[in-house]
Amino acid sequence: MTTALADAAITMTDKEALQEAREYEAQQKRKENVILDARMEYGHLMTTYMSLVNMFWLGYGAFFTINSLLATALGVSYSANAAGMSTRFLYLVHVLIPSTGIFMSACAIYAAILIVRNMRRIEKRGKELETDVLHATIFSRLGSRSWPFWTSIGSLCFAALWVSAFFALT
């Protein structure tokens, strides 16, 4: 009877050891999966961040292009060639073009605010991954943006120019 009890004790110990080994292996696998997930997420964060940076530059190009086209159209509407057009139509053009320019300036500021807000979110998550899992430094070295100052100043200057076009109305 003592041999049967001893065999049962050995079998129980083997089962416990096997269970501990399985738990240890599962824990190691979870750690590996966390690192792999963090690496994948880090790549996505970097790609998204660079897309937002591209949005800024595309926005600047579009903003200046639209303002240039509006200014050209406004200049043509005041030229001698436009004198033959209806005065009501010209008055409408002289009101709508500066109004559109002011609206575009407000849209540019709002878009810049949204882009900066998303850039901050990405930077924050990237810094979390860097400190907790990956020990990288890309997002830690980026300077956090609080407000798109230069975009706001430039857009407000353009809006002021468009407001001044209202003084030319006769």
pLDDT at 10: 57
CA distance 47 to 116: 15
pTM: 0.79
Measure the CA–CA gap between 32 and 43, rounded to whole angstroms: 17
- Nearest Cα to Cα of residue 101 among 72, 67, 78, 69: 67
Q: What are phi and psi of 145, to 5 degrees?
A: -100, 135
Which domain does 150 fall in, by range?
2-168
Number of domains in the chain: 1
DSSP conformation letters of 37-94: HHHHHHHHHHHHHHHHHHHHHHHHHHHHHHHHHHHHHHHHHTSGGGGGS-HHHHHHHH
Q: What is the pLDDT along the chain (170 residues), one digit of tens a residue?
A: 556 555 555 565 778 888 888 888 889 898 888 888 888 999 999 999 999 999 989 999 999 999 999 999 999 999 998 888 999 999 999 999 999 999 999 999 999 999 999 999 999 999 999 888 888 888 888 877 788 999 999 999 999 999 999 998 86
pLDDT for the residue numbered 136: 83
Alpha helices (H) along 78-170: 87-129, 138-141, 149-165
Calpha distance 6→19 (Å, rounded): 20
Q: What is the pLDDT of residue 141?
A: 85
d(CA 11, CA 164): 92
